[in-house]
Homo-oligomer: A and B are copies of this chain.
Amino acid sequence: MNKSVSEAVIKRLPKYYKHLKELEISGLTKVSSGKLAEMLNITASQVRQDFCNFGGFGQQGYGYDVGRLRTEIANILGLNRTYNMIIIGAGNIGRALASYKGFVNEGFSIMALFDVVTNDKRVTDNIPLYPMEELENYVNNNQVDIAIIATQRESAQEVANRLSELGVTNYWNFAPVELKLDNKCIVENVYLSESLNVLSYRMNNN
């Protein structure tokens, strides 16, 4: 099993998962590597190789059972459990993520928002907004699986350090910096401006 699954494969897993959910909703119960390949715009070979990394979930001559495959991939992705998340930074992005309903369905719940300024900002939906001073107290008394860093670039590292000392190891980072944390920490970055720059690159080089 997963002794170093390549980055490329990992990035495709959520795509498989998404398409399998769609297939399941549309009532299909079986799917072939060829069909999945078409949906993801890759080759059937690659689909089979990808699943082979995890043992292979198909049946020769038949294909893959949609429900089974979806469950297997959900397990691989860790979607068979729930995650408590907090957001640091109640600015535009922080509040947008807080009120976005899409994550909860997949087991990711946002428990609290933190910001230096708490007065002029409303609590978003039913999620409480705490001042930064409350961070230590909150984390010590609540399970925090993932911290979402949605602060200004300047304070992101400092906030991550504080969280790291409190034992938080998993970060979804929206600040345009590379967080330097010790090796046991896991950081997944969303660098919006890089994405926008790639778009403008393509606009000028196609």
**Chain A interface (Cβ < 8 Å from any Cβ of B):** 2, 5, 10-11, 13-15, 17-18, 76-79, 83, 92-93, 95-97, 99-100, 102-103, 106, 108, 145-146, 170, 172, 176, 186, 188, 190-206
A76 with B201: CB separation less than 8 A: yes
Q: List 20 A-B contacts (CB under 8 A).
A: A10-B201, A11-B194, A13-B197, A14-B194, A14-B197, A18-B193, A77-B197, A78-B201, A78-B205, A79-B197, A92-B95, A92-B96, A96-B96, A103-B196, A106-B193, A146-B199, A146-B203, A186-B199, A186-B206, A188-B202
* Residues in chain B near residue A92, CB distance under 8 A: 95-97, 99-100
Contact present for A201 and B77 (CB under 8 Å): yes
CB pair B176–A18 under 8 Å, yes or no, is: yes
A200 proximity list for chain B (CB < 8 A): 77-79, 83, 108
